[in-house]
Structure 1
Amino acid sequence: MFAKHTVYKHDNYNMLTVEVQGKTLVVREISDQWGEESHKFISRPEMMDWAQKRFRPDDFPGGEEEYNRTMETLRNI
């Protein structure tokens, strides 16, 4: 059984989840613009590096506050 974490969910078409599959982290990014993308990482630092390059505060409806909350949630997985 895998642990699934919802990082954010704005609606049914814009969300980010992380499944912990043993040592592998599978990030599923669903957006109304790009559809669904999956990313596999073998470590948390690798996932965080991707997240810091992928997201900017402007990407979130709540701006920097929501960006910081999302990054903190990812760090705690």
Structure 2
Amino acid sequence: MANQPFKKHTIYKKDKWNMLNVEVQGSKIVLTEISDQWGEECHTFIGRPAMMHWANERFAPDKFDGTEEERQAILDNLKAL
């Protein structure tokens, strides 16, 4: 069985300090959130439902600092993985 590279996705990238990257490793999903306020946070999920639960909490309308279009684009990009 040949080693297949993990699939890497950039969900959003505002600049070199504010971005959200996802690496899909089979059923395991590693999400790295980098911000100029908090630094780098890494989250590991077993499956998409767990990741989407986190995303809906993290990008809740009352907590999101941006437009509704930006928030929806982030959620849509995560759903499309």
- TM-score normalised to the size of structure 2? 0.88
Q: How far is 1:59 from its partner? A: 2.1
| Superposition RMSD in Å | 0.9
Corresponding letter in the other structure for 2:75: M
- The unaligned stretches of length 5 or more in structure 2 are none
The ranges of structure 1 where at least 4 consecutive aligned residues each deviate by more than 6 angstroms after the TM superposition are none
Paired residues, what number? 75
Instruction: Give the aligned partner of residue 12 of structure 1.
Output: 16
Deviations 1:5-37 (A, max 9, x none): 000000000000100011100000000000000
**When you count helix as a share of all residues, which structure comes out higher?**
1
- The unaligned stretches of length 5 or more in structure 1 are none
Larger radius of gyration: 2
Identity %: 56
